[in-house]
Amino acid sequence: MPSLLFRSAFSMFMMIGATAAYAQDKPVHGIAMNGEPALPPDFTHFPYANPDAPKGGEITYCVVGNFDNLNPFILKSMRTTARGVVDSIFGNLVFEPLMRRSDAEPFSLYGLLAEEVEMDEERNYAEFHLNPNAKWSDGKPVTPEDVIFTFETFAEKGRPPYSNRMDRIESLEKTGERSVRFTFNDESDREFPLVVAMTPIIPSHAFDRESFDQSTLEPVVGSGSYIITDVEPGQRIVFERDTDYWGEDVPSMRGFNNYDRITIEYFLNENAQFEAFKKGICSAYAGAIYTGLDPDQVSRDFNFPAVENGDVVVEAFDAEIPPAARGFFFNTRRDKFSDPRVRRALSMLYDFGWVNENIYGGEYERTLSYWQGSDLSALGRPANQREKELLAPYSEKVLPSVMDGSYGEDLKGRLDRDRMREAVDLLQDAGYSLDDGVLKDEAGNPLSFEILITSTEQERIASAFQRTLQRVGVNASIRMLDDAQAQQRKQTFDFDMLIGAVGFSGSLSPGTEQIGRWSSQSANVEGSFNLAGVSDPAVDAMIDAMLNARNREDYIAAVRALDRLLISGAYIVPTQHNTERWIAYWTVLNHPDTSPLHGYELGTWWYDPEQAER
């Protein structure tokens, strides 16, 4: 059962967290958010990578959208930056961080540009010792000056969240030929040194700070495995392996980035993307970026000749992390959605039972928690004493059913008359009344809004939601946008409601990224991922408690308390999830037998010449 897997992985992680702090005033090869990293100093590779994977061949990924920029660190063209330069799915092909995260653990980092790190127990400072072999693709060495230039440039010209990182740094100084020391201020927390370690580093000699915030289509210089060799704006970007890549034998990189060439092709919509995969233009297909490839699509669409003759394989990988919460995001910056009673009422009208049965073939579960299936979830659990203490100043913001753990059972089935009546009562309590079949506020304005969508998949569930809303007098219109239009509207928060996801995947170690998703400080920062515009002192307090927790009990209590506030605040209408991650691929590709916690890692796959000769 997935929930048992989640509990097992998280329990091991948090049990370690109760031990003495690791990395106290001595250089170490790796760090963990809690306790010690799982891999020893002499580890040779990550457990889900094959260090003997053959190098060679090429792969083409196909994506929906457009691109007009190669600098992923700026606000301008942020949503239309070319994929792959820094990418959570295809890998950081060009830019690299000081330390690299292992996806076999909840939150542990190991050396990359920095071969070692030194921290005190309180994490007031972190000193990174650069790998003497680290160099940029133009042959120049990576230096402490590059690290300092990166953080200062991001602060002055970068986009969130990179632009905010200097706010928590008291000083940043070169301490040796290959060493750089960060001293943190009172705004920092225990996770922040790890955030610093994961920040991609840029070369000071290849960027001009004055013009850094301007879009560019000139290939950028990085330290990664690949260099950009061909750019066709909006259509294609090609990466070729750097034959002189410095980090080939760094343990955290062994078995990764195995292709000689990676091409990312852009398409206008998902239909065109899928047709390209069927023709063999794309090597792998994982469905829409926010919903993934679902079992219903597998049974419905994967009956073309290449599947039947074995040239295309469809495979499911078990994910051992909470599913990313997906759904309809309310823009609470709009007056019509500022009242949580309105949001709760509308959320009650999503007919998951019908959608699951008629669109997804009954293969999905209802998403009701932001860390569902793990020890971090508040779902089905009464608040413990520590949670009650954290939430005491904000008790009126948590629904009683969420507090006592009974919330959600009535939302897993079909929408019935009782739930519809309850939703209408809640809307009336918020000041709306029915007038000739239309819900209107006290000023006579109808409750109406627009749902932005970007795919036929989204259209199917949006239409189902629209129909149930109409039954209670709410007028929801649907507008289809292309990816570029939708990204621009997201960046400027120009929408009533849209379908999206809270990150690309869930996490067993939520941390500072929650600031960008839910905190007051990100609510009105253009380009932030706080799409709902959440600005609540209670949410801010729980994030702070989570980031500064020193033991297992306090950490779990803070995350569960945050979960209770987000559920009660009804900032999104959560939809559904499947704990399996499906991907279709042509059999010229192969992958390791061991998988990371999130299911599969495309960066560890390789081109199989024996299959290619079939």
Cα 591 from Cα 351, distance rounded (Å): 38
pLDDT class of 292 with cuts at 50, 70, 90: confident
pLDDT class of 550 with cuts at 50, 70, 90: confident
Per-residue pLDDT tens over the stretch 43-67: 999 999 999 999 999 999 999 989 9
Contact 28, 116 (CB under 8 A): yes
Q: Which residue has the higher pLDDT, 527 or 98?
A: 98
The percent of residues in the chain predicted with pLDDT above 70, rounded, is: 94
The percent of residues in the chain predicted with pLDDT above 90, rounded, is: 77
Cα 387 from Cα 95, distance rounded (Å): 40
CA 543, 544, 546, 547 dihedral sign is positive
> What confidence score (pLDDT) does residue 298 get?
86
Residues ≥6 apart with Cβ < 8 Å to 182 = 125, 126, 127, 128, 169, 171, 172, 193, 196
Query: Can you tell me which residue has the tokens 């989640």?
Result: 6
- What is the residue-averaged pLDDT of the chain? 91
- Whether 375 has a pLDDT exceeding 80, the answer reads yes
Per-residue pLDDT tens over the stretch 35-44: 899 999 999 9
As given in the structure block, the two tokens for residue 579 are 């704990």
The beta-strand segments (E) located in 69-184 are: 96-97, 99-101, 108-111, 114-119, 125-130, 169-176, 179-184
Per-residue pLDDT averaged across 450-479, rounded?
95
Quote helix, strand, coil % in the chain, to nearest 5. 30, 20, 45
Q: What are phi and psi of 313, to 5 degrees?
A: -115, 140
Q: Exposed, middle or buried by CB within 10 Å (0-12, 13-18, 19+), for 207?
A: buried
As given in the structure block, the two tokens for residue 551 are 């033991």
As given in the structure block, the two tokens for residue 614 are 């079939």
Contact 192, 168 (CB under 8 A): yes
- Whether 578 has a pLDDT exceeding 80, the answer reads yes
Secondary structure of 218-243 as H, E, C letters: CCCCCCCCEEEEEEECCCEEEEEECC
Q: Exposed, middle or buried by CB within 10 Å (0-12, 13-18, 19+), for 377?
A: buried
- Whether 20 has a pLDDT exceeding 60, the answer reads no
Q: Which residue has the higher pLDDT, 513 or 399?
A: 399
> What confidence score (pLDDT) does residue 152 get?
98
Cα 565 from Cα 369, distance rounded (Å): 11
Find the angle CA(200)-CA(206)-CA(208) to the nearest 5 degrees.
95
Q: Which residue has the higher pLDDT, 488 or 108?
A: 108
- Whether 551 has a pLDDT exceeding 90, the answer reads no
For residue 200, the SS3 value is: strand
Secondary structure of 175-188 as H, E, C letters: EECCEEEEEECCCC
> What confidence score (pLDDT) does residue 63 get?
93
pLDDT class of 370 with cuts at 50, 70, 90: very high
Per-residue pLDDT averaged across 532-541, rounded?
97
Per-residue pLDDT tens over the stretch 378-426: 999 999 999 999 999 999 999 999 999 999 888 888 999 999 999 999 9
Per-residue pLDDT tens over the stretch 304-340: 999 999 999 999 998 888 888 899 999 999 999 999 9
Per-residue pLDDT averaged across 81-85, rounded?
94
> What confidence score (pLDDT) does residue 13 get?
43
Q: For residue 69, which of 269, 262, 233 has the smallest C-alpha distance?
A: 233
- Whether 17 has a pLDDT exceeding 90, the answer reads no
Query: Can you tell me which residue has the tokens 């008291």?
Result: 170
- Whether 112 has a pLDDT exceeding 80, the answer reads yes
> What confidence score (pLDDT) does residue 549 get?
87
> What confidence score (pLDDT) does residue 501 get?
84
As given in the structure block, the two tokens for residue 164 are 């905010």
> What confidence score (pLDDT) does residue 289 get?
63
Q: Which domains does the chain have, with CATH numbers?
A: 2-41+95-201 (3.40.190.10), 326-577 (3.10.105.10)
Per-residue pLDDT averaged across 4-18, rounded?
40
- Whether 14 has a pLDDT exceeding 80, the answer reads no
- Whether 219 has a pLDDT exceeding 60, the answer reads yes
> What confidence score (pLDDT) does residue 290 get?
55
As given in the structure block, the two tokens for residue 501 are 């996801």
Q: How many CB atoms lie within 10 A of CB 544?
A: 14
Cα 187 from Cα 185, distance rounded (Å): 5
For residue 68, the SS3 value is: coil
Task: Verify cis geometry, omega within 30 degrees of 0, for the bond prior to 161.
Answer: yes
pLDDT class of 612 with cuts at 50, 70, 90: low
Contact 426, 346 (CB under 8 A): no
Cα 536 from Cα 115, distance rounded (Å): 40
pTM to 2 decimals? 0.77
- Whether 99 has a pLDDT exceeding 50, the answer reads yes
Per-residue pLDDT averaged across 241-265, rounded?
97
Per-residue pLDDT averaged across 138-146, rounded?
98
As given in the structure block, the two tokens for residue 125 are 């400072």
> What confidence score (pLDDT) does residue 11 get?
41
